[in-house]
Amino acid sequence: MTTAAGVHADPLAEFALAGILHFARGLPRLIADRRDRTWRKQATTELAGRHALIVGAGKIGSRTAELLRCFAVTATGVARTPRPAGGPFDVMTTTDRIAEHLPTADILVISCALTEHTRGLIGQLELAALPDGALVVNLGRGPIIDEDALAEALSARRLGGAVLDVTSTEPLREDSPLWTADNVILSPHSASNVPSENGKIVDLFVENLGRYLSGDAALINEFDFDAGY
């Protein structure tokens, strides 16, 4: 059994970057001012100098870190098992040590798989440990984050914004405050749907089928039943 890991890395990383820039550069205020025909000059913020904590240092997380590095954003990668730092990550840590890194995370990106170990990984305590104004991005699965705690932190303006491609229940429940929150970007689990997606998946499948039939090479993205992805 194999997976399509890596196929969606580029579009998901671009979606993350688009959402992060949306909030970091104050676009919600500009949109509101144009709607209200208000002309006011205000200072905004920048990405340069910020730090990202990326939970899930696989292909999606790594690509997101690469794009953020272009904007002078440093990154700590979080993996299930220890690995040396390098590539797009300035620091590497493991899932059980996330709490140590949350206070320095201006941007929290979730790009890991949903397993018994990651379900509810980011709850009220973890969100409270983030700096005021931090941005939260979820490219993984909704249940990794406590959605009620996230909505509460957004409503209280403790967080600067959330960029979500996934939610705990899909479609998002009708009474969720995320529908109307002005500091949320919400995608219906389709941020990776781009014209090249199916072609890349077919190419990967055909390559793996050839390897399987010949037995001459290891399969790409072989599923790890113990890890759950």
Mean of the per-residue pLDDT values of the chain: 97
- Tell me whether residue 38 is in a domain: yes
Tens of pLDDT, residue by residue over 41-95, are 989 999 999 999 999 999 999 999 999 999 999 999 999 999 999 889 999 999 9
- Tell me whether residue 119 is in a domain: yes
Domain count for the chain:
1
Q: Of these residues, 8, 50, 63, 141, which one is catalytic?
A: 141
Q: Note if 8 is an active site residue.
A: no
- 3-state SS assignment for residue 229: coil
pLDDT for residue 1: 94
- Tell me whether residue 127 is in a domain: yes
- Tell me whether residue 2 is in a domain: no
**Domain span at residue 20?**
9-186
- Tell me whether residue 226 is in a domain: no
Q: Note if 22 is an active site residue.
A: no
* The model's pTM: 0.95
- pLDDT-derived band at 177 (thresholds 50, 70, 90) equals very high
Q: Note if 141 is an active site residue.
A: yes
- Tell me whether residue 152 is in a domain: yes
Q: How many Cβ atoms sit within 10 Å of the Cβ of residue 218?
A: 8
Distance from C-alpha of 6 to C-alpha of 101, rounded to nearest angstrom: 26
Tens of pLDDT, residue by residue over 19-38, are 999 999 999 999 999 999 99
pLDDT for residue 224: 94
pLDDT for residue 93: 98
Q: Of these residues, 97, 170, 173, 222, which one is catalytic?
A: 170
CATH code for the domain in which residue 143 is found: 3.40.50.720
Q: Of these residues, 152, 189, 197, 207, which one is catalytic?
A: 189
Cα R_g (the chain), whole angstroms: 19
- Tell me whether residue 103 is in a domain: yes
- Tell me whether residue 197 is in a domain: no
- pLDDT-derived band at 223 (thresholds 50, 70, 90) equals very high
Cis-peptide into 171, omega within 30 deg: yes
- pLDDT-derived band at 117 (thresholds 50, 70, 90) equals very high
